[in-house]
Amino acid sequence: MTTIYIDADACPVKDEAAKVAGRHRLAIHFVSNAFMRLPEGENVHRVVVPDGPDVADDWIAERAVAGDIVVTADIPLASRCLKAGAKVIGSTGKPFTDANIGSALAMRDLQQHLRETGESKGYNASFTKQDRSRFLQALEQAVQDVKRGR
């Protein structure tokens, strides 16, 4: 059965993901390094992992399999989950795929280098209503694709 895993520490679409999971009666795991307020529901599971680099990512990557859906903005985690066969969606609704993950990893490395050399301040774009809408569409599409065996 399909499970949705949320990299919850900085995820702006927790409520939306829980609504989609509830509508489809799918288990959803919110994984974080600290206790946080989460949507309620019998299908909602809170996972608080020990503090440390990549502990939440490791927890998700060790469990995500083909037919599961992972929501994360963390590109290395997205890559690991794609290799396991899971569908992966960013919080802005952008799906990570085998076709675009290499480019995303390269761009992440470039941005990190630019920040380290002082060429870039590393500002992130603000999260918009359109991002929220795209996310809802992408998650719904991912659920439908999994149900249809795509």
pLDDT tens-digit series, residues 75-130: 999 999 999 999 999 999 999 998 877 777 677 666 676 667 777 676 667 889 99
In order of their start, the domains of the chain are 3-147 (3.40.50)
Q: DSSP string spanning 4-26?
A: EEEE-TT-S-HHHHHHHHHHTT-
Question: pTM surpassing 0.75?
Answer: yes
pLDDT tens-digit series, residues 13-38: 999 999 999 999 999 999 999 999 99
Q: Where are the alpha helices (DSSP H) in the chain?
A: 14-23, 55-63, 75-83, 101-116, 129-147
pLDDT tens-digit series, residues 55-87: 999 999 999 999 999 999 899 999 999 999 999
> What is the rounded CA–CA span in Å between residue 150 and residue 103?
23
